[in-house]
């Protein structure tokens, strides 16, 4: 299966600041990918590298089997909505659609006009007078109407209220269901991603902490409670991500590919938000858990 987006040892440095380090990922086709991490983790840097807006300092990245932004044909295969959902405030909605049609050879006018109509937007309205949610929808329309094979969204709902976020994500999923486009969606709002994403990449402190299909990740991570014991006394094959202890009991967050069975243990599945927060905490505390990432490759 050919990866839609593949990076090997990818890095980006700005002077003394390392914005992305040793990033190795492979995104299969047809996925809706949630890219998560705290502010400054390297999410926007990775997406800008994928779009060809910036060049890597080290390593390689391939998008749809080619170098990002290699030529106009490659640019036409990727849609991008930046973090501030950029639009031109003095132009009308219709002006934006005409501009999109001029710049994109595979422009789908029926799709663009249909989305604007379904959203109840006035084509003659200046975009600067629209709400934040409406501007985000216009930006999404411009991105999807070029009929991209890969759609990249950099925190497009970060500034929206909960209702506008839900409407934006619902429109996105309706488009994905109809067209099967691969999507990479960056956000720090895990609750939003949990509703729409089937693949996860977590970046912390400029490094990948974990990556994989959501079902596989949730099926191999557990919260384990038992009588007090040390982490190194657990069976082989368990990677302990976090341990907390009281006087009489211990609770571990573990990763285990093998089934876990012991009547003396209380075993609970880990939710996506708990999974993400666990890796964020471990990533920010240092490289001690990098072996967990290596174990999944």
Cβ 43 vs Cβ 30: under 8 Å = no
For the record, the structure tokens of 294 come out as 């290596």
Q: Does position 34 have pLDDT exceeding 50, yes or no?
A: yes
* Domains of the chain in sequence order: 5-215 (3.40.50.300), 220-296 (no CATH)
Cβ 226 vs Cβ 265: under 8 Å = yes
Which pLDDT score is estimated for 294?
43
User: pTM here?
Assistant: 0.86
Q: CA dist 3 to 24, 30, 111, 215, 278, Å?
A: 12, 10, 27, 19, 27
Q: Which class for 270: exposed (0-12), middle (13-18), buried (19 or more C-beta within 10 A)?
A: buried
Q: Which class for 230: exposed (0-12), middle (13-18), buried (19 or more C-beta within 10 A)?
A: exposed
Question: C-alpha 266: how far from its chain's center?
Answer: 32
Which pLDDT score is estimated for 293?
43
SS3 at position 16: coil
Q: Does position 84 have pLDDT exceeding 50, yes or no?
A: yes
Cβ 7 vs Cβ 172: under 8 Å = no
Q: How confident is the model at residue 185 (pLDDT cuts 50, 70, 90)?
A: very high
How many CB atoms lie under 10 A from the CB of residue 167?
A: 18
What would the pLDDT profile of 217-241 be if each residue is shown by its tens digit?
999 999 999 999 999 888 888 899 9
| Least confident residue range of 88-102, 114-128, 156-170, 183-197 | 156-170
- Give the C-alpha separation, 225 to 210, whole Å: 23
Q: Does position 70 have pLDDT exceeding 80, yes or no?
A: yes
How many CB atoms lie under 10 A from the CB of residue 274?
A: 17
């Amino acid at each position: 299966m050919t990866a839609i987006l593949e990076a090997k040892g990818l890095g980006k440095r700005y002077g003394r600041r390392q914005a992305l380090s040793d990033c190795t990922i492979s995104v299969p086709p047809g996925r809706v990918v949630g890219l998560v991490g705290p502010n400054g983790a390297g999410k926007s840097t990775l997406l800008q590298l994928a779009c060809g807006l910036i060049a890597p300092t080290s390593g390689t990245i391939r998008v749809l089997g080619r170098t990002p932004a290699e030529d106009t044909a490659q640019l036409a295969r990727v849609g991008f909505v930046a973090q501030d959902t950029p639009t031109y405030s003095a132009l009308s909605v219709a002006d934006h659609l005409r501009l999109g049609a001029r710049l994109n050879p595979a422009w789908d006018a029926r799709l663009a006009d249909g989305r604007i109509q379904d959203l109840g937007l006035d084509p003659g309205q200046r975009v600067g007078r629209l709400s934040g949610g409406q501007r985000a929808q216009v930006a999404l329309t411009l991105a999807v109407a070029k009929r991209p094979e890969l759609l990249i969204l950099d925190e497009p709902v970060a500034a929206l209220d909960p209702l506008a976020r839900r409407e934006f994500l619902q429109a996105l999923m309706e488009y994905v269901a109809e067209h099967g486009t691969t999507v990479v969606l960056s956000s720090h709002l895990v609750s939003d991603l949990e509703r729409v994403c089937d693949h996860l990449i977590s970046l912390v402190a400029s490094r990948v902490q974990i990556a994989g299909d959501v079902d596989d990740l949730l099926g191999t991570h557990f919260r384990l409670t038992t009588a007090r014991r040390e982490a190194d006394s657990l069976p082989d094959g368990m990677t302990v991500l976090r341990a907390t202890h009281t006087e009489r009991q211990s609770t571990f967050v573990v990763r285990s590919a093998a089934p876990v069975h012991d009547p003396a243990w209380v075993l609970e599945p880990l939710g996506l938000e708990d999974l993400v927060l666990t890796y964020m905490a471990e990533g920010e505390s240092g490289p001690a858990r990098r072996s967990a990432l290596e174990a999944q490759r």
